[in-house]
């Protein structure tokens, strides 16, 4: 997991071949003007999901993990908090892995919580279980999904 400000996103370009393009997109696009839901950048290789919803709070935030995609979750507005724990520490899946949606949920609780303030992002790799939407009140986020391979 990585937590930083969008203004420093370029320093993470070496972590994945598509990160430079993803951070350039985030920095140069009027994200708030995009429609809610999926917006393609490069088909299934890279797309952004605009998420506008209420925070659930820590008690209702669920750990999740993905196999095919890396998440770059950028908070645009609101009070976002995201839980984190290493995937290897998750012992209690809450259902089977959904291949179509590339997601599995866990009953485990996060081992750490991070504030992702407006203008900041968190990167979650497939070995990072994360519990988004743990903040309070209305949240607007851009979630770039980047194919691992």
The CATH number of residue 7's host domain is 2.60.120.370
84 part of a folded domain: yes
20 part of a folded domain: yes
39 part of a folded domain: no
Report in angstroms the alpha-carbon separations of 83 from 34, 98, 106. Answer: 26, 21, 12
User: What was the pLDDT predicted at 48?
Assistant: 98
34 part of a folded domain: no
Taking the C-alpha atoms of residue 126 and residue 66, their distance in angstroms, rounded to an integer, is: 5
Total domains in the fold of the chain: 1
| Longest CA pairwise span in the chain (Å) | 40
37 part of a folded domain: no
35 part of a folded domain: no
Q: The domain containing residue 12 runs over which residues?
A: 2-29+45-147
Taking the C-alpha atoms of residue 131 and residue 81, their distance in angstroms, rounded to an integer, is: 9
User: What was the pLDDT predicted at 14?
Assistant: 95
Contact assessment for residue 145 and residue 69, using Cβ atoms and an 8 Å cutoff? yes
User: What was the pLDDT predicted at 149?
Assistant: 83
Taking the C-alpha atoms of residue 64 and residue 90, their distance in angstroms, rounded to an integer, is: 10
Beta bridge partners, 143, equal 49, 73
How much is the pTM? 0.96
128 part of a folded domain: yes
> Can you give the pLDDT of all 149 residues of the chain as single tens digits?
999 999 999 999 999 999 999 999 999 999 999 999 999 999 999 999 999 999 999 999 999 999 999 999 999 999 999 999 999 999 999 999 999 999 999 999 999 999 999 999 999 999 999 999 999 999 999 999 999 98
User: What was the pLDDT predicted at 135?
Assistant: 95
Helical (H) or strand (E) element with 39 = strand 37-42
């Amino acid at each position: 997991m990585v937590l930083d400000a969008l203004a420093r996103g370029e320093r993470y370009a070496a972590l994945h071949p598509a990160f430079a393009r993803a951070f350039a997109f985030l920095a140069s696009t009027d994200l708030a003007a995009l429609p809610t839901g999926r917006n393609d950048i490069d088909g299934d290789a890279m797309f952004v999901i605009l998420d506008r919803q209420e925070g659930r709070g820590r008690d209702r935030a669920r750990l999740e993990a993905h196999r095919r995609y890396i998440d770059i979750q950028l908070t645009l507005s609101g009070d976002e908090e995201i839980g984190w724990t290493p995937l290897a520490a998750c012992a209690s899946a809450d259902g089977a892995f959904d291949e179509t949606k590339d997601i599995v949920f866990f009953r485990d609780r996060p081992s750490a919580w991070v504030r992702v303030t407006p203008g900041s992002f968190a990167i979650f790799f497939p070995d990072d279980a994360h519990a988004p939407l743990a903040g309070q009140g209305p949240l607007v986020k851009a979630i770039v999904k980047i194919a691992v391979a």
